[in-house]
Structure 1
Amino acid sequence: MLDYVDRILVAVRSLDDAEHNYSNILAAHKIDDFESPWLNARVRRMALGSTQVELCEPLGAGTTQKHLDQWGEGLMYGGATTGDLDAFAQQLIAGKVKFTRADDRLYLEPADLHGLPLVVSRTHKQPRAEGPVEFLYELTMVLSSPWQDVASRYSEGLGLQPERNVGITFERFGYVGALMMFDPDRLDRIELSEAHDPAFAMGRFSAKRGDAFYMCYVQTDDLAAIITRLEQNGQRYTRRTQTPTERDGLWIHPSALNGVLMGVSRHSLAWQWSGRPDRVHALQEL
């Protein structure tokens, strides 16, 4: 019943400072501002390719301020869409997932979803904004719980179809799990990454936070532009490969984007580990 990953909500202390970061690093564009009583925050929507980043500055005590007090700046909610919000609400009720209707969308109760803070809106595809980012496509959960148990809960609660899951193992980062694909013909998904080894960042994260929202991923058709922006602004990132010129992808350090760890993969590359390596477009020779 979920169609697309469409946004992330980021708790920030200053909208203007955060807008500066997302504009400089990712060429995100301001859409508008609104106030959310549910979040008790002033929210700045920014276009990120055909998806969005919502920067949330608290107006006082409440959801956003609590996140800042407990965890600092960073990912507060991941966003997804559904074609029929009322039908999805019925799915949540049947799946025993509590939710709140606010801001013309559904805010799901993280405690009912192994810590996943998900906000679901009606599907409304936006044209791609200018810039190197095509779209967000992944919300990543790091788990201390067995990933199979979490996958079962998400199938029951969110209506995700288990036959679409793609198993994953990444020794580089010390985790195993699954990609819960929304549609077999698109990259949109929730990643479940079970990690325990303290030798790896994800294992240390799960020891500290348990099951929690860890990072997100975007696709780009101009990785060189993002690298140039990162380096011009003196921001840290980790390369995906050891080739002389990085052309496949990278991970942007949270210090660059107000506490958000963001993976970046070149156009189509994510199909390599998403069950359809035949869909990866080969790079042209330099």
Structure 2
Amino acid sequence: MLQQTDRLALAVTDVDEAARSLNNIFDSVVVDDTKDKEANARRVTLQWGCDQLELLEPKGPGPVADFINSGKRGIFAGGFTLKDPASVAARIENAGIKVTQQGDRFVVYPEDLRGTGVILSPIASREQRIGLMDKIWQITYTVPDLDAGVAFYSDLFGIEEEMTNLYSSELWGYHAAITWFEARKGAPLDSLEYLDPYENDKAAGRFLAKTNGIGGIYMATVHTPDLPEIKRRIEATGGGWEGTPNGALGFIHPRRTFGLLLGVTYFDNINARRPTPEEPEAWNH
């Protein structure tokens, strides 16, 4: 049922500082500044390429304050769009998980869903691009058991019939799966990734350990033709960029993006090796 990965929400202690810093890196712009009554937080929304980045600063007790006070930083929730968000919200509620409605969108706070906050919104146009970003193409969860994690979220989100490929990374020490919302060459890359770390001393393993083995949203990845300029800006203003030898993928350290571990790549780099029903083994990590 999910169709697009359209936004991220970050929990921050100073929303003005975060907005300034992120806008300086990505040329994103503030498009909304409001009080989120349900979360008891100030919510500043950046237009971040074709998608959006929400920054949440707690204004008192509530789920954002709880997230920060527990020692966490970074991705509070990952957002998906679909034609009928109420239908998936109902599935989640039927599973005994609390859902909060905010106008035409639905929010699940991370404390209620294994550390994985969710925002469900109506499908929207993604044609207007602001700044250096293009689109969020993947949101990545860590899970303590890969098969169980994929089964749980696939049922919860109604994506059991979508194509899911399995792979392992010896470099990063995890077993993984990717569920593609539209599995065909040239289609949008929107997808949900799951990591089940088997080496606890590597990054994903350390993240899972910090959640006491529950899991959470580990990172997100975007695609943009302006990767070289983003890399230049990160390196020119304090560092925090780690790239692959071929230059087609880089990672921005969370200290530069207020707890967000962000992968940056090119559309063609992923599209060329995305699996499809015709080429199910195309993904070569």
TM-score normalised per structure 2: 0.89
Name the CA distance, whole Å, in 2 between partners of 1:152 and 1:96: 17
Residue aligning to 1:133: 133
**What is the DSSP-based 3-state SS (H/G/I as helix, E as strand, rest coil) of the residue aligned with 2:265?**
strand
Instruction: Flag the 1:110–1:60 CA change in 2: closer, same or farther, 3 A.
Output: closer
Q: Is the 8 A contact 1:196 1:206 kept in 2?
A: no
Give the Å deviation of 1:156. 1.4
User: Is 1:3–2:3 an aligned residue pair?
Assistant: yes
AA partner of residue 179 (structure 2): M
Q: Is the 8 A contact 1:11 1:67 kept in 2?
A: yes
Deviation per residue, 1:49-98 (Å, 9 max, x gap): 11000011111111111111113431111111110123333333455544
Deviation per residue, 1:139-168 (Å, 9 max, x gap): 111122x21111111121110134511212
Instruction: Flag the 1:106–1:130 CA change in 2: closer, same or farther, 3 A.
Output: closer
Give the Å deviation of 1:199. 3.0
Residue aligning to 2:154: 155
Q: Percent of counterpart pairs with the same letter? A: 28
Count, aligned residues: 274
Instruction: Flag the 1:163–1:23 CA change in 2: closer, same or farther, 3 A.
Output: closer
Residue aligning to 1:224: 228
Q: Which runs of 5+ in 2 are unaligned?
A: none
Give the Å deviation of 1:127. 3.0
- Which has the larger displacement, 125-134 or 24-33? 125-134
Residue aligning to 2:52: 52
Instruction: Flag the 1:103–1:2 CA change in 2: closer, same or farther, 3 A.
Output: same
**What is the DSSP-based 3-state SS (H/G/I as helix, E as strand, rest coil) of the residue aligned with 1:260?**
coil
Q: Is the 8 A contact 2:63 2:111 kept in 1?
A: no
Instruction: Flag the 1:165–1:112 CA change in 2: closer, same or farther, 3 A.
Output: farther
Residue aligning to 1:76: 76
Name the CA distance, whole Å, in 2 between partners of 1:109 and 1:44: 17
Residue aligning to 1:16: 16
Q: Is the 8 A contact 2:251 2:264 kept in 1?
A: yes
TM-score normalised per structure 1: 0.88
Q: Is the 8 A contact 2:76 2:116 kept in 1?
A: no
Residue aligning to 2:270: 270
Give the Å deviation of 1:173. 0.6
AA partner of residue 167 (structure 1): L
User: Is 1:25–2:25 an aligned residue pair?
Assistant: yes
Deviation per residue, 1:106-163 (Å, 9 max, x gap): 112546654321111111123333322111111111122x211111111211101345
AA partner of residue 64 (structure 1): V
**What is the DSSP-based 3-state SS (H/G/I as helix, E as strand, rest coil) of the residue aligned with 1:165?**
strand
Deviation per residue, 1:186-217 (Å, 9 max, x gap): 31111100003123111122122121111111
Runs of 4+ in 1 over 6 A off after TM superposition: none
Q: Is the 8 A contact 1:96 1:112 kept in 2?
A: no
Name the CA distance, whole Å, in 2 between partners of 1:262 and 1:51: 14
Name the CA distance, whole Å, in 2 between partners of 1:255 and 1:110: 21
Q: Is the 8 A contact 1:95 1:158 kept in 2?
A: no
Q: Is the 8 A contact 2:146 2:176 kept in 1?
A: yes
Q: Is the 8 A contact 1:253 1:261 kept in 2?
A: yes
